[in-house]
A = this chain, B = another copy of it.
Amino acid sequence: MNDSLNKVTELLRELPGIGPRQARRLSFWFMRKDARWVETFARSILEARKGIHTCPMCTRLYEAGPHDSGTCRTCEDTSRDAGLLLIVEKDVDLENIERTGTYRGLYFVLGGTTGPLDKQPEKHIRIDGLIRRLREPATPVREVIFALSATTEGEDTAAYVRERIERTLPQHTFKLSELGRGLSTGTELEYVDADTMRSALERRT
Contact B182 A203 (CB under 8 A): yes
A197 pairs with B7, CB closer than 8 A:
no
A101 to B198, CA, bound (A): 9
Do A180 and B200 touch (CB < 8 A)? Answer: yes
Asked if A11 and B41 make an inter-chain contact with CB atoms under 8 angstroms apart, the answer reads yes
- Decide if A188 touches B149 in the complex (CB within 8 Å): yes
A32 in contact (CB, < 8 A): yes
Q: Provide the main secondary structure of the chain A interface.
A: helix
Closest residue of B by beta carbon distance from A22:
B17
A residues engaging B (CB < 8 A)?
A: 1-5, 7-8, 11, 14-17, 21-22, 24-32, 35, 37-49, 51-52, 61-63, 65, 88-93, 95-97, 99-103, 111, 145, 147-151, 177-205
